[in-house]
Structures are given as C-alpha cells and as structure tokens.
Amino acid sequence: MADLIGVFGVTHNPLMWASLREKAPEDLTSVAANFDYFRSLVTELAPDVIVLVASDHFHMLMTATMPAFMIGKSPEMRAAYPNEARQFGLNPARIVGEPNLAAHLLGGRHLTSGIDFAFSDEPWLDHSFLIPLLLLTPRLDIPVIPIFTNCNAPPIPTSTRFAELGTYLDDAIRSFAGKQRVLVVGSGHLAHELGGPRQFLGTSPDPDFDRKAVSWMADGNLEEAIADTSFDRLTEAGNESYQFLNFITCLAAAEGRAATFAEGTTTRLGALPFFYWEML
C-alpha cells in the first residue's frame, strides 16, 4: 500500500517569492531559513508523489464554472500564467502528474462517497501551486497531484468540509495499491487581505488570528480550528484568509496530531505559515 509520509503547510505569497529570488531581505531571512529546512525534509523523506492542496486565484477557474474541490489527473500540466510572469517574474513551467493515484483519489469508476470531486484532464497551475513547488522541489522533478479548493469565490466550503477532505486524503492515499511514498502539501495564508483597506499594512491584518491559528496546528487542536474558522471570522482576519482552510485539510490529513513544526513567520507581508507533521 502507498504511505503518507509527511504533511506540510506553507505560504505561496508571490511577493515573498519574488523577493527571495535575490538575496533574502532582512525580514525574510527566517522565511528563507524555513524553506531551507523544508527542502531538507523533502530530501530526507524522499517522496515519490506530492499531493498539493491549493486554491487557484481565478486563473484556471473563473466563476463561469467554480467547483468546490477538483483533482487534476493529467500526466503533465502547465504552470504559471502570463499575468504572473508580468507581475512576479514567474516563468512558465511544466509539472509531471501521477494519473493513477489521481484516479484512485477520485474514487475509480464512481466518485468517492466522501467528497464530490470535480476533475480536470488539463489542469493549469497558478502561483498557489507553483511557488511551493519551486521552493520545496526546485528541480520540479517529483510528480504532483493538484487538488484545487475554492477559497476565493463565496460560497466556499465550510471548515468541516476542508477537514473531511484531509481525512479522506489520509485514508485514500493509504488504501492505494502502490508503493508510493506520498507527501501532502497545503498551500495558503494566515490572516491576509488583498483588494481591501487592510492590504499592505506592513504587518498582519489580524495578529490574534495568526497566534491562534498557529497554536491549533502546534497543539493538534482540530476541533477548535474548525469551530473558529467560520466565513465571518475568516473575513474579519482579512478578505483572503479563507486559504487558511487548506491548512485545516493538512491538520486532518495528519490525523489531528500536534505539528512537529508550526510557525507564523513575521514579515512585512504579514505572518507567513510553515507547518510540518511527521507521519512516519
């Protein structure tokens, strides 16, 4: 059977990524060090596949069609869009997929009874997928199964549904008749605002939320994480904070255990999340 060997939760902030391409500015040295640590974990864990849970930012998916949860199941996929090249210097890339495990996660001939996944045979990944991959696996040489979650266009799934997604991934990965070592990576934010009055304040829009959010992961407190992340509470933390829900999926995939490493690293871009759960 396949094995779930670890779970990560990391930032995909594109301004952070653009800054890290040069020598890390002072407020991002801890972020650069955390990515060094997470890269060393990838080397140590040696995953065969990465299941990457992230939220497309109206690149592949606009609201003409907006699934709640979608799995990309192609053998190869594009990454980065022209506006991301223009704005952040994020160049087009090709990512290798893992169609067999992706088909298994979808449920085979029938959809799984747990989650009504949509699917795509031609996924095109935006920066929410590509930036974690570039920072964790710079050679982009590990096959990826992208799971798109709707954290941008309300109505978004509840925190309970994000937890159910994580529990489902844990079970489904371990029931796959293969020998792959699978790493689950969640991509998202802590308190974050974009396009509202609290963007680019030089600090987090809600430090209290950040502290609690990191403690839920550090303590393995899935119950409180679910209870305190209603749509209204997340909006209060910032109008882009819904992507924190991807970390609830991570916590549930890690069976609600206390994270081995949990930090909201303070930067001028807000607190940037780093979570790691050891699973072996």
Partner 1 sequence: MSRYLVNKLMWEVDKSDEALAKFKADAGVFLDEWEARTQHPMPPYPEGGTLTVDERRAIESRDYGSLYGMGVNPFLLWQFARSISVPEGMSSEQLVAAFREAVEPHGFPDFFT
Residues annotated catalytic, as ranges = 127, 192
- In the list 22, 23, 26, 64, the residue contacting partner 1 (rule: CB under 8 A) is 64
Binding mask 131-170 for partner 1 (x = CB under 8 A): ---------------------xxxx---------------
Q: Quick check: 56 binds partner 1 (CB under 8 A)?
A: no
Respond yes or no on whether the N-terminal peptide bond of residue 92 is cis (omega within 30° of 0). no
- In the list 81, 117, 168, 176, the residue contacting partner 1 (rule: CB under 8 A) is 81
Q: How far is the CB of 62 from partner 1 (least distance, A)?
A: 6
Q: Quick check: 239 binds partner 1 (CB under 8 A)?
A: yes
Q: Quick check: 22 binds partner 1 (CB under 8 A)?
A: no
Q: How far is the CB of 152 from partner 1 (least distance, A)?
A: 6
Nearest to partner 1 of 33, 62 (CB atom): 62
Q: Quick check: 58 binds partner 1 (CB under 8 A)?
A: yes
Q: How far is the CB of 120 from partner 1 (least distance, A)?
A: 13
SS (H, E, C) the chain: CCEEEEEEEEECCHHHHHHHCCCCCHHHHHHHHHHHHHHHHHHHHCCCEEEEEECCCCCCCCCCCCCCEEEECCCEEEECCHHHHHHHCCCCEEEECCHHHHHHHHCCCCCCCCCCCEEECCCEECHHHHHHHHHHCCCCCCCEEEEEECCCCCCCCCHHHHHHHHHHHHHHHHCCCCCCEEEEEEEECCCCCCCCCCCCCCCCCCHHHHHHHHHHHHHCCHHHHHHCCCHHHHHHHCCCHHHHHHHHHHHHHCCCCCCCEEEEEEECCEEEEEEEEECC
The residue whose two tokens read 């990576």 is: 185
Q: How far is the CB of 75 from partner 1 (least distance, A)?
A: 23
Crossing angle between the packed helical segments 207-219 and 245-253, to the nearest 10 degrees: 10
* Of residues 83-102, those binding partner 1 (CB under 8 A): 83, 86-87
Q: Contacts with partner 1: how many residues (CB under 8 A)? A: 26
Q: Quick check: 37 binds partner 1 (CB under 8 A)?
A: no
Q: Quick check: 212 binds partner 1 (CB under 8 A)?
A: no
Q: Quick check: 113 binds partner 1 (CB under 8 A)?
A: no
Strand order in the sheet with 76-79: 93-96, 76-79, 124-125
Nearest to partner 1 of 22, 44 (CB atom): 22
Q: Quick check: 82 binds partner 1 (CB under 8 A)?
A: yes
Q: Quick check: 194 binds partner 1 (CB under 8 A)?
A: yes
Cβ neighbours around 184 below 10 Å, total: 28
- In the list 12, 57, 104, 161, the residue contacting partner 1 (rule: CB under 8 A) is 57
Q: Quick check: 199 binds partner 1 (CB under 8 A)?
A: yes
Binding residues (CB under 8 A) for partner 1: these are 57-59, 62-66, 81-83, 86-87, 152-155, 194-197, 199-200, 235, 239-240
